[in-house]
């Protein structure tokens, strides 16, 4: 368990305490939102199926992850002013993660190392599903 002086801690307990995390492959949200970062250490997540260029970048940069832990059932409140909308490829509509009761999974991502380090502290429920190499 990480201590209180860990550089990765920046107030995430305000929105991640007691969250449910699901291990899954990262999928790009749209043409404009094609990667994410770990909420703690800032490790990059990318979708190798997004484009040949992304696949090559991932191949050339082994520190880029293609799977990790997505937060289920939580998203930031768009009225806070700090939330970016995401354009969904299926209908090209910009949707904020939480509007009129809509909750969107996969807004926040956490890498496996940070899940290991912070699960106890944040009291997470962690659901491990088979990864691409394990299925």
Q: Is position 135 within any domain?
A: no
Q: Is residue 5 part of a domain?
A: no
Model pLDDT for residues 33-77, shown as the tens digit of each residue: 889 999 999 999 999 999 999 999 999 999 999 999 999 987 776
pLDDT recorded at residue 74: 78
Is the torsion defined by CA of 12, 15, 17, 22 positive or negative?
A: negative
Residue 8 within any structural domain of the chain? no
Distances from the Cα of 17 to the Cα of 5, 13, 21, 69, 104, angstroms: 18, 5, 11, 15, 17
> How many folded domains does the chain comprise?
1
Domain that residue 56 falls in: 20-127
Helix or strand or coil: residue 113? helix
What is the reported pTM?
0.77
**Residue 2, in any domain of the structure:** no
Provide the 10 A C-beta neighbour count for residue 62. Answer: 7
């Amino acid at each position: 368990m990480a201590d209180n002086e860990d550089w990765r801690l920046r107030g995430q307990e305000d929105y991640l305490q007691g969250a449910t995390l699901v291990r899954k492959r990262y999928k790009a949200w749209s043409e404009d939102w094609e990667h994410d970062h770990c909420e703690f250490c800032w490790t990059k997540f990318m979708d190798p199926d997004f484009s040949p260029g992304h696949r090559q970048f991932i191949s050339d940069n082994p520190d880029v992850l293609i799977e990790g832990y997505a937060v289920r059932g939580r998203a930031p409140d768009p009225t806070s002013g700090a939330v970016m909308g995401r354009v969904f490829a299926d209908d090209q509509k910009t949707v904020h993660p939480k509007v009129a009761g809509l909750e969107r999974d996969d807004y926040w991502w956490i890498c496996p190392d940070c899940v290991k380090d912070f699960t106890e502290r944040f009291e997470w429920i962690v659901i491990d599903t088979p990864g691409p190499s394990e299925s």
